[in-house]
Amino acid sequence: MGETSVLLLGVAALALGLFGLLWVLLGAGQGSAARGNLERGIVPTGPREEVARGARPGATESRLPAATVARLARYAEAAGRPPSVVTTAVTLKFVLAAFGLLLALLIGFATRSPLGWIIGLAIAVLAWFAPEIYLQGRAGDRRKVIDAALADTLDQLTIAVEAGLGFEAALVRIVRNGRGPLNDELARTLQSLQLGVTRREAYRALADRVDLPDLDRFVRAIIQADAYGVPIAGVLRQQSAEVRMRRRQRLEEQAQTIPVKVTFPLMLCLMPVLFIMILGPVLINALGGL
């Protein structure tokens, strides 16, 4: 194995180690403290102080544009991470960018070719955006889990309210008996209500954090029902039916796009093989007759 190959293997190992560090530092999810406090009946005082600390950019965040920090904070919140992850993500951006530049120099001097320098610079750029891409991906995955659990949660809310419980009492029962990102968000909403936040603000904050169209429609319906005195059980039943109908329509739309998506791989992979099988013997016979 040549010196260049050993150097490239070392570069690859270093890159894997850096992205492993990214996963470890940003992969810690929000703990179950919210649910635990709710189940013990404790009125939490920490979240308000934590949000206040997260709203004030520190020395590390001040080195980036405010729009970038706000975008990281939005991704971290949507991914269910605490506000302190924003500081970690900003620090990782600088650390990974520095190591990415080092990898770019190593690859460039090892290969001594324009392609090597391009690959190295691409790695450096990817390292800079890696924390943001990671948080955005986790937020998208969490949003899909919430979307899948929303209809069942609305059914449970409908059953509990029709059984005689109030809306917030039904939320407490669902949070205590369930698990998952949606339950965590509902627990956080209930804690906001315990802290003195109005229902409208707490429910709007829930919709803004998750950023899911179906949940946003549900929140608006609940706010309107609370404002105009509409029976909540009927609203829940209607919202549950509409969520299931829209989900079924989205699945049907995705199923209809499958033939279009399959066309390109089919043309790329299958057609060349068919041409070889059909025209191969003809070419061989033609060349043999020369």
pLDDT at 47: 40
pTM of the full structure: 0.69
Q: Quick check: 106 and 11 in contact, CB under 8 A? A: yes
Q: How far apart are CA 14 and CA 200, in angstroms?
A: 49
- How far out from the chain centre does Cα 262 lie? 26
Q: How far apart are CA 288 and CA 15, in angstroms?
A: 52
Q: Is 178 helix (H, G, I), strand (E, B) or coil?
A: coil
- Pick the closest to residue 222 from 168, 160, 148 (CA basis): 168
pLDDT tens, the chain, 290 aa long: 455 554 555 556 556 655 665 555 555 444 444 445 444 443 343 343 343 334 455 555 666 778 888 888 888 888 888 778 888 888 888 888 888 788 777 777 777 778 878 887 888 888 888 888 888 888 888 988 998 888 888 888 888 888 888 888 888 988 888 888 988 899 989 998 888 888 899 999 998 888 888 889 989 998 888 888 888 888 888 888 888 888 888 888 888 888 888 888 878 888 788 888 888 787 777 777 65
- Please name the residues in contact with 83: beta carbons below 8 A apart, sequence gap of 6 or more: 50, 51, 53, 54, 73, 76, 77
- Please name the residues in contact with 35: beta carbons below 8 A apart, sequence gap of 6 or more: 175, 176, 183, 184, 187
Domains and CATH numbers, the chain: 3-139 (no CATH), 146-247 (1.20.81)
DSSP designation for 270: I
